[in-house]
């Protein structure tokens, strides 16, 4: 007996996730002027991680799902890029558009660094 999930909310969430991933892919393709297939042929997974995050600022999980990058490898890539000063993670957490859990935004676009490093909360100002 085959079970199907006829829950409209579940179907909506699946569509939302698909739209988010498609948006990320399109941002990378638009920014690079190349298709994702071309980028994957020309670059290693690590280089694709760096290049892709130049053109979209999102969470690591959403980015990895969109570009089919292994999440464990992405953790290493992220750390190496942070140490080299080529990637910044947001100070504040947001709700990940893919997982709906709290997460940080990441980017390798230096134009985004200042914005991501600013906190939008005033909690620390209470103690100053």
pLDDT at 13: 65
Q: Report the sign of the C-alpha dihedral through residues 93, 95, 101, 103, in that order.
A: negative
For the stretch 3-43, pLDDT in tens is: 455 555 556 667 889 999 999 999 999 999 999 999 999 99
- CA angle (6, 8, 13) in 5-degree steps: 115
For the stretch 29-82, pLDDT in tens is: 999 999 999 999 999 999 999 999 999 999 999 999 999 999 999 999 999 999
Please tell me the chain's helix, strand, coil percentages from 3-state DSSP, rounded to the nearest 5: 60, 10, 25
Smallest CA-to-CA distance from 79 within 97, 106, 102, 99 is with: 106
Instruction: State the pTM of this model.
Output: 0.83
pLDDT at 72: 96
pLDDT at 16: 87
List all residues 6 or more positions away from 93 whose beta carbon is below 8 Å from its beta carbon. Answer: 102, 103, 104
pLDDT at 80: 98
Mean per-residue pLDDT for 108-115?
Answer: 96
List all residues 6 or more positions away from 14 whose beta carbon is below 8 Å from its beta carbon. Answer: none
Q: pLDDT: is 85 or 8 the higher one? A: 85
Task: Report the SS3 class of residue 7.
Answer: coil
Residue by residue, DSSP assigns 44-97 as: -HHHHHHHHHHH--EEHHHHHHHHT--HHHHHHHHHHHHHTT--EEEEEEEE-T
Fold adopted by 8-127: Arc Repressor Mutant, subunit A (1.10.10)
pLDDT at 7: 54
Task: Report the SS3 class of residue 37.
Answer: helix
Length of the chain: 128
pLDDT at 20: 95
Q: Quick check: 120 pLDDT over 70?
A: yes
User: Would you kindly state where each structural domain of the chain is located, as residue ranges?
Assistant: 8-127
């Amino acid at each position: 007996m085959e079970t199907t999930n006829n829950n409209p909310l579940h179907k909506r969430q699946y569509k939302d996730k698909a739209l988010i991933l498609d948006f990320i892919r399109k941002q990378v393709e638009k920014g690079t002027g190349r298709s994702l297939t071309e980028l994957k042929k020309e670059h290693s997974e690590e280089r694709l991680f760096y290049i892709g995050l130049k053109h979209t600022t999102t969470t690591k999980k959403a980015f990895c799902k969109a570009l089919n990058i292994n999440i464990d490898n992405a953790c290493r890539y992220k750390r190496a890029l942070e140490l080299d000063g080529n990637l910044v993670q947001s100070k504040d957490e947001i709700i990940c558009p893919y997982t709906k859990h709290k997460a940080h935004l990441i980017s390798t676009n230096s134009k985004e660094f200042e914005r991501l490093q600013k906190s939008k909360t005033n909690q620390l100002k209470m103690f100053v």
